[in-house]
Structure 1
């Protein structure tokens, strides 16, 4: 299957303005992410789906490839769907978040290869085991409930599954992980993307503010690739400073 990695890149950010253009080690956050994506083995085609000419100019400056997409896109998935409309020869599109400059290329490969191998699925994503009570109780850490053959049953900001008799902390130490942290890395089939972009937000999606629930509500099969850890994304100025210090001290 022909595969393309797409990095949806929005200039504005409510928590850290223009974070993708911040520089560390002589490169923008976006360039670090782009170069990590290029190290994936599943494809050598990486495109930035931008919402602003300044993003396009930044990608041009380091020799990458970018496309300007509509400012009306409500999400990164919608932005990728616009790219999918331009490329009817591509079967699988991988969504890499622009603010994850330390993403593991092997995780990108794992998600893309899982979707390629599971013909019943329209989406593949990734998860790592949750091993601390603080992370388990953090609504910012989205949890996945998985069924047989690593199929996603539900996504939630709450602690799921709920241990009715108590003992959630003990379950963190189970030999087979019970609690999984969803990682915002996706592979989509092209037909699914084109369908998704035409659908209104679902009821569960609006409650949890998780767009993957739109697919779950519609009965779409999502499969999950277990990975060892989540990439450290950049949401705040402190996140960026920690990343910059780590890069510049290396």
Structure 2
């Protein structure tokens, strides 16, 4: 199995300005993410940045980084340009690790890559884990996914799905609903195609880019893990939590 990890990183975060360079125990956050990714089986780990300061910070700590355009409308567009800059072939595989996941489990990265390699019927792979509390089930910031019998995604939603007809929202349905983890494996050929696909109506409603792939008939394989990943960083409160954990 051969694959490359790409980490998109951009400065313009409304909730946490200059998030990629936020200090976590003496290192920029994006560097910590890349260091975790290097513990996976990836042949190469590269940060795709929109700002020269991110590239400089990565290079200062021995992390490969390249500068992409600042006007990309989505992370997928940034990754597609990175594939071109790295001269990757359409048959190659990449795993997209978000730049705000400094506690990412390297085994999760390997799982996404291995699943995509084995599921030749799918253009993408991703992860999910069981939800264990009602608060997460009803939280629109926690994305849920419903699978078919082969662990292929049927739908992603911010709504609580599958809905328990007889239980309402006072308790979790059984089997436990699944939380989607935003880590993706891609075949490079599809990643180059994706930014040119028309946006899906349901994608615009839910603000979930992966629904575009489903709407156009592409399949997404899902690896179900037993436990949730380490916390990501979206807000100053998240940053404080991760700093405390690493201390």
- Per-residue deviation at 1:24? 1.9
2:138–2:159 CA contact under 8 A, matched in 1: yes
Q: What residue number does 2:141 align with?
A: 140
Q: What residue number does 1:61 align with?
A: 60
Q: What residue number does 2:77 align with?
A: 78
Q: 2:184 matched to 1:183?
A: no
Tell me the TM-score normalized by structure 1. Answer: 0.93
- Per-residue deviation at 1:197? 1.5
- Per-residue deviation at 1:246? 2.0
- Per-residue deviation at 1:17? 0.3
Q: What residue number does 1:2 align with?
A: 2
Deviation track 1:73-130 (CA, whole Å, cap 9, x = no partner) reads: 1111111111122323361110000000000000000011000011101100000100
- Per-residue deviation at 1:155? 0.4
Deviation track 1:135-165 (CA, whole Å, cap 9, x = no partner) reads: 0000000000111110000000001112223
* Distance in 1 of aligned mates of 2:171 and 2:235: 32
**SS of 2:146 mapped into structure 1:** strand
Tell me the TM-score normalized by structure 2. Answer: 0.95
* Distance in 2 of aligned mates of 1:230 and 1:88: 29
Written as runs of structure 1 = structure 2, the 5 A alignment for 1:229-240 is: 229-240=228-239
Q: What residue number does 2:161 align with?
A: 160
- Per-residue deviation at 1:239? 1.0
- Per-residue deviation at 1:2? 3.3
Q: What residue number does 2:109 align with?
A: 108
Q: What residue number does 2:96 align with?
A: 95
* Distance in 2 of aligned mates of 1:126 and 1:245: 26
Matched residue count: 244
* Distance in 2 of aligned mates of 1:240 and 1:171: 29
- Per-residue deviation at 1:171? 4.2
- Per-residue deviation at 1:230? 2.5
Q: What residue number does 1:28 align with?
A: 28
Query: Structure 2: which 5+ residue stretches go unaligned?
Result: none
Runs of 4+ in 1 over 3 A off after TM superposition: 167-172
Q: 2:235 matched to 1:224?
A: no
- Per-residue deviation at 1:200? 2.7
Deviation track 1:170-223 (CA, whole Å, cap 9, x = no partner) reads: 544x3x43x100000000001111110112321110000000000010110101
Written as runs of structure 1 = structure 2, the 5 A alignment for 1:113-132 is: 113-132=114-133
Query: Structure 1: which 5+ residue stretches go unaligned?
Result: none
- Per-residue deviation at 1:23? 1.0
RMSD: 1.4
**SS of 1:201 mapped into structure 2:** coil
Q: Report the more deviating stretch, 135-144 or 78-87.
A: 78-87
